[in-house]
Amino acid sequence: MQFQAQVINSSLFVRIVQCIERQSKTAVLMLTPTWLHIIMVSDTEGGLQMWSDVDPQALFASYRVESLHNNKIHLEFHIDNLQRVLRSAHSSQSAVLKLTKVCRAPDTPHYCVKTFPCKC
């Protein structure tokens, strides 16, 4: 499973995430080679559902998604964590988002998205 993208429009990404954050604290990010989907389900039962489809070219200069599941990656995340990553990207001139594997204990891999300075 690999995801890497060079952020060029972090302000738009932040605005999208802020809209979702007002409704829920968690969401699902579905990454495909052609689209970035952000899916939010309200914290309350029977609540609001929101689905945002974003063309990666609107946010990223380069965008790569690879997985054994038809090149689709599904991530459930806390929106405040993504906002923190995007604020870091917004304050830098250019940044790269990467999905990295973090093993906290044997047989329990977790993944996180981190920003890295762009070596352009």
Record the pTM: 0.75
State the Cα–Cα distance between residues 14 and 3, nearest whole angstrom: 19
Length of the chain: 120
The distance of Cα 86 from the centroid of its chain, to the nearest Å, equals 9
Give yes or no for a contact between 3 and 99, defined as CB atoms under 8 angstroms apart: yes
Q: Which amino acid is at 36?
A: L
In sequence order, the 6+-apart residues with CB closer than 8 A to the CB of 44 are: none
Q: One digit per residue, pLDDT tens: the chain, 120 residues?
A: 888 888 888 888 888 888 888 888 888 889 999 999 988 877 666 667 788 899 999 999 999 999 888 999 988 888 888 888 787 777 777 788 888 766 555 554 555 555 555 454
How far apart CA 63 and CA 5 sit, in angstroms, is 4
**pLDDT confidence of residue 120:** 46
